[in-house]
Structure 1
């Protein structure tokens, strides 16, 4: 690791678990870019000093930001891009013309595997979103902008309503308690031809070491796409059941790689080389 080479990095506390160095390192090698992508353990009381030191480092190309710094870093920056201001969190910082710019690539990363679907015309689009945390904020904002009617479920329905009122106040959206989707329903779905239905687990439920997501598939319209942002395990019980029912599934690596690709271009000035995504996925899951 050279002190004179251009580099970007990921910061957080903890940071050892981050897959970002593997993803960006893979792309840097494929693109033949003489730069590095590192991880840097930054505690909350070290964040201001970290930003001050990177401001004057000519080799620093920016950083990704993980928990617990996504909100705390915002006052330390010179400008927050509108997408990050709306979501209320910064996950990417880049230096530009002497200023530090904060943005958020989660919304774009989440939408990437849905782009072909969203490019088609639909009579009606609905997404059922489980969760009201930080990831859910980005997902709600992204899907509302795509003209989807949202049903947001959380332990606290008032929090879900507040999120919708903040992120898309003109939308005709709905809220539900988390346990609404855990119990079976006898609701008879109408003809879904020409509709686009999406079900998203935007929580850590189902992740290794976390409780399972209690979800009854009687709530899922025929032909739905089921999307889980959890990355460990990659095939969660939620996705495994969706697949067994013949539904299309999208796993958490899609969002992770998608948001990293947006950041990569901001850091290194050229698009991420995506021709070998299958090899990248194999490396990340080995």
Structure 2
């Protein structure tokens, strides 16, 4: 049995089993199963190190265990080393290796849903300075963004992110300075939980943002957040956050099962139906 799991606490909300089991069925992979595994924080490191003994060929890791997974493993890919966080674990001839595909998923989603977007076309503005912002900032720099502008209510946290990732061309702005950050930008991405169901919306004024600038949000419940709605009504191209979830799953599935799956409209519809958003 080729078993893979997603490790988190809690983990019942994860759509990873739905995504991966859909691909397992689609590609008719024999004796394969993907399952959730709820693991308390105090048990996470030991569980991760024991994955092979527990019968798993790999795993995904979700909150709050991504940093724990990085520390628990001896081998990492370059992206996981840079971010100091792991969301995908793969069995290699040398043992378990931690990888991070969050940034890949972010960029792949933009390329999929907004093919005309080019990272090199203008500065990228990131709202927030948490774990998701780290993955997005690193991915945008690698994709060729000429400048990364991080807007955060606590500038010192954004400055720490910038130093830790050694971003070559980055600037930090307080929330009060958001208008200056948006001026001339080519991309705006919200990496905070603002706009999520039950949370307050992002309230920054989008007027200084060029109409050609793409606006995206890593939040996907609701699919169109308040920020995306305002951007769309203002004439900006927009991309929702669901695709990041779907695309980040692709490299792991390929590593575990030897088949590169596709993110299709059928898969999007399946996940949206499960989220009750059809």
Matching residue of 2:168: 170
Compared with structure 1, are the counterparts of its residues 146 and 168 closer, same or farther at alpha carbon in structure 2 (3 Å cutoff)?
A: farther
How far apart are the structure 2 equivalents of 1:280 and 1:232? Answer: 16
How far apart are the structure 1 equivalents of 2:153 and 2:180? Answer: 22
How far apart are the structure 1 equivalents of 2:36 and 2:48? Answer: 15
Q: Which residue, out of 256, 266, 271, partners 1:279?
A: 266
Q: Indicate yes or no: 2:61 matched with 1:65.
A: yes
**3-state DSSP of counterpart to 2:29:** coil
How far apart are the structure 2 equivalents of 1:186 and 1:97? Answer: 50
1:102-161 C-alpha deviation (Å, 9 max, x unpaired): 01000111110334446x695x42111101000000000011122311110112112112
* Residue ranges of structure 1 left out of the alignment (5+ in a row): 191-195
8 Å contact from structure 1 (residues 155, 178) kept in 2: yes
Q: Which residue, out of 222, 227, 230, partners 1:233?
A: 222
Matching residue of 1:109: 105
How far apart are the structure 2 equivalents of 1:188 and 1:41? Answer: 40
Q: Residues 1-286 of structure 1 correspond to what in structure 2 (within 5 A)? A: 5-34=1-30, 35-57=32-54, 59-97=55-93, 99-115=95-111, 116-117=115-116, 124-148=121-145, 149-171=147-169, 173-181=170-178, 197-274=186-263, 277-286=264-273
How far apart are the structure 1 equivalents of 2:229 and 2:85? Answer: 31
Compared with structure 1, are the counterparts of its residues 166 and 121 closer, same or farther at alpha carbon in structure 2 (3 Å cutoff)?
A: closer
TM normalised by structure 1 equals 0.87
8 Å contact from structure 2 (residues 119, 140) kept in 1: no
8 Å contact from structure 1 (residues 31, 273) kept in 2: no
Shift of 1:187: 10
* Residue ranges of structure 2 left out of the alignment (5+ in a row): 274-278
Q: Count the aligned residue pairs.
A: 268
TM normalised by structure 2 equals 0.89
Which structure has the greater CA radius of gyration?
1
**3-state DSSP of counterpart to 1:73:** helix
1:72-99 C-alpha deviation (Å, 9 max, x unpaired): 1222212011110101110111111251
